Homo-oligomer: A and B are copies of this chain.
Amino acid sequence: MTTPQEFIASALARERNRAGLTISELARKAAVGKSTLSQLEAGSGNPSLETLWSLATALGIPFWRLVEPVTDAVTVIRVGEGRGIEAAESKYIGTLLSAGPKSACRDIYRISAEPGPPRKSTPHAAGTVEHVILIAGRALVGPIDSPTTLNPGDYMSYRGDAPHIFEALETGTIATLISESLL
């Protein structure tokens, strides 16, 4: 049985860490007193809607995402691999890449990247799994110590709560990224 205070405290800490911000930084960015934020994360606070909204905006997440309940293998399926679900009527093939468990919170991103220094992601919340489907170009994706090169159409999933990278190898690299937070 979580109280509102505990709830928002852990949610804030979680999202703030995910964004890689300190209390001071977030407070400044959201234009709220850092004392306010400090007390909030300490569990002794009853923030107003405006305060929460400002924090969510500064964290770059939709507001309601902030108040959501909290919540190793690496899989690569190349184009042409995987069991397809064909439709008799037309040339339509659906390949199940990942059957999702219940109680999963997933965000869908479109990634545009250009060659250069790779984007290293700090680990997200525990239990996070990321799925990448490369649309165009080529990219080196996955755990920081064992990334894999993906070509257009390739699918890959890996743990998002461990350090991982996304490095475009060609200009105009585009991908779909699904970040899934398992409870």
Which of A61, A82, A105, A152 has the most CB atoms of chain B within a 10 A radius of its CB? A105
Which chain B residues border A60 with CB–CB below 8 Å? 85
Q: How many whole Å from A67's CB to the nearest CB in chain B?
A: 4
Copies of this protein in the assembly total 2
Which chain B residues border A61 with CB–CB below 8 Å? 99
Q: How many residues of A contact B (CB 8 A)?
A: 76
A163 touches B (CB below 8 Å): no
A108 touches B112 (CB 8 A): no
B107 touches A93 (CB 8 A): no
B99 touches A107 (CB 8 A): yes
Which chain B residues border A103 with CB–CB below 8 Å? 102-103
State in angstroms the CA–CA spacing of A99 and B79 once bound together. Answer: 27
**Interface residues, chain A, CB within 8 Å of chain B?**
4-5, 7-8, 45-50, 52-53, 60-65, 67-69, 71, 77, 79, 82, 84-85, 87, 89-120, 131, 133, 135-136, 152-153, 155, 166-168, 174, 176-178, 180, 183
A-B CB contact pairs (8 Å), 21 listed? A5-B49, A46-B49, A46-B50, A47-B48, A48-B49, A64-B67, A64-B69, A65-B99, A68-B102, A87-B119, A89-B117, A90-B113, A91-B112, A91-B114, A91-B116, A93-B113, A95-B111, A97-B108, A100-B107, A104-B106, A153-B174
